[in-house]
Amino acid sequence: MAEGLMEKIVSLCKRRGLIFQSSDIYGGLSNTWDYGPYGVELKNNLKRAWWKTNVYERYDILGMDSAILMHPKVWEASGHIKNFFDLKSDCLSCRKRLKTEDLKDKNKCPECGGKLTESRPFNLMFKTHQGPVEDNENELYLRPETAQGMFVNFSNILDSRHPRLPFGLAQIGKSFRNEITPGNFTFRTREFEQMEIEYFVKPENAEKAHQEWVEARYQWYLDLGIKKENLRLRPHAKDELAHYALACTDVEYNFPFGWSELEGIANRTDYDLKQQAEFSGKDLRYFDDAAKERFYPYIIEPSGGVDRAVLAFLVNAYHEEKVKEDIRTVLKISKELAPVKVAVFPLLKNRPEIVELAKKIAGELKKSIVTTYDDTGAIGKLYRRQDEVGTLYCVTVDVQSLEDKQVTVRDRDTMLQERIGIDKLKEYLNIKLLN
């Protein structure tokens, strides 16, 4: 099934309203994607699961949400203006722009065989302007990462919340990078969401904290259903590390296109706070009451991509099985991430009393459980439709339901059906969803 799996995933996403090509009616804008009704639920569930684990369930992590647009000095201090670039080469024949590090032959285009230009730096930040005049003085950048928003707020957090080391800041938000070679569906795009933590520790505790975060982040994916054989940890070699980093380990997933990074956990040292302090003139050191000393904490940074994580969970959950003479496609996604938990159908849409009862049941369930209602097809087609988006339970209201006040509940994974009293339905489903 590995063969053609990406094509199947892309087709499923469009067919069932998970992910669409952005600006599709105009021919689309390359490597940009819109999340449809089911896709946005999956994406939001993923972000909620991350926030729950890393903010709500910990005493030492605080959440925040920094602005996308920031003072240009922030990016000067961070080194992004001078150093945030890829080397690129252009094909003189087909005009394709290529990332130099991906080229086996630095002189020959892999697409058309044409001659390549010499490699030259290409800054990955998107420029924009504030105000009515588009000149250098009004130049801004769309942030390429969320991290700097947490670093520049370090003193604000100290002054307002008075946390003690170790503590962290967590943020989920949009970032933008003018990638030379985006691709592989939602894996690498120019507009994307990050889930980032900046965890501040005493320098002598940084190595231990880094390892703890590596283990915690790896386990998080397993807990949400990623198959262990498709997940691995890859420490960076010294020549791979950013100039400010002492260590970095990637959590990688085995996508149909190969092993690739889901998130990186880096020891960024005290570089970022020192840089922002130098350029701003503000004292960003932490004061240790016990030791009566000021110092710059080291920073451990778990940083993952929301969009590539969504793709990993889709690939992980995609399942095909033979049912009689048909092939059933089902997303066997975890209860926590499933876009919809329950779907309610009337067996006969031409019977108003059955439709009315089905809608009433769906309305009651919606108050506490993510529920959808559908009467736009035969029951078999409705089941298959919900299987493809990972809906956990389907509830069917039939003629008998009018008399015995019971409905049929079908399990996604086993396809087993059970008659449940309408008055017990919500309790039954809540127990199932909690187990």
- Looking only at the bridges linking them, the beta strands covering 85-90 and 120-123 are antiparallel
Angle at which helix 306-317 crosses helix 5-15, to 10 degrees, equals 100
Planar angle of CA 183, 43, 250, nearest 5 degrees: 60
Give this prediction's pTM.
0.90
Residue with token string 């203006």: 81
DSSP helix/strand/coil, 262 = strand
**Residue 434 and residue 83: Cα distance in Å, rounded?**
48
- Looking only at the bridges linking them, the beta strands covering 247-255 and 393-397 are unpaired
Please give the DSSP secondary-structure letter assigned to residue 252: E
The CA radius of gyration of the chain, in Å to the nearest whole number, is 25
Please give the DSSP secondary-structure letter assigned to residue 132: S
CATH class of 340-434: alpha beta
pLDDT tens per residue across span 350-360? 899 999 999 99
Q: How many residues does the chain have?
A: 435
Report residue 227 as tokens.
């198959």
**String of DSSP letters for 214-236:** HHHHHHHHHHTT--GGGEEEEEP
What counts of helices (H) and strands (E) characterise the chain?
13, 23
Distance of CA 36 to the CA centre of its chain: 15
**Residue 345 and residue 362: Cα distance in Å, rounded?**
9
What is 5-67+154-314's CATH topology?
BirA Bifunctional Protein; domain 2 (3.30.930)
Q: What is the model's pLDDT at position 95?
A: 72
Q: Domain limits of the chain? A: 5-67+154-314, 340-434
With a CB cutoff of 8 Å and minimum separation 6, the contacts of 199 are: 61, 166, 167, 168, 209, 213, 299, 300, 301, 302
Q: What is the model's pLDDT at position 326?
A: 85
Tens of each residue's pLDDT in the chain, 435 residues? 555 899 999 999 999 999 999 999 999 888 899 999 999 999 999 999 999 999 999 999 999 999 999 999 999 999 888 876 666 777 778 877 776 667 777 778 887 888 877 777 667 888 888 888 777 778 899 999 999 999 999 999 999 999 999 999 999 999 998 877 777 888 989 899 999 999 999 999 999 999 999 999 999 999 999 999 999 999 999 988 888 899 999 999 999 999 999 999 999 999 999 999 999 999 999 999 988 999 999 999 999 999 999 999 999 999 998 888 888 999 999 999 999 999 999 999 889 999 999 999 999 999 999 999 999 989 999 999 999 999 999 999 999 999 999 999 999 999 999 999 999 999 999 999 988
CB 65 within 8 A of CB 329: no
pLDDT tens per residue across span 398-410? 999 999 999 999 9
Closest CA to 84 of 129, 122, 128: 122
**Residue 20 and residue 42: Cα distance in Å, rounded?**
14
Q: What is the model's pLDDT at position 85?
A: 67
Question: What letter represents residue 373's amino acid?
Answer: Y
DSSP helix/strand/coil, 255 = strand
Report residue 15 as tokens.
């067919």
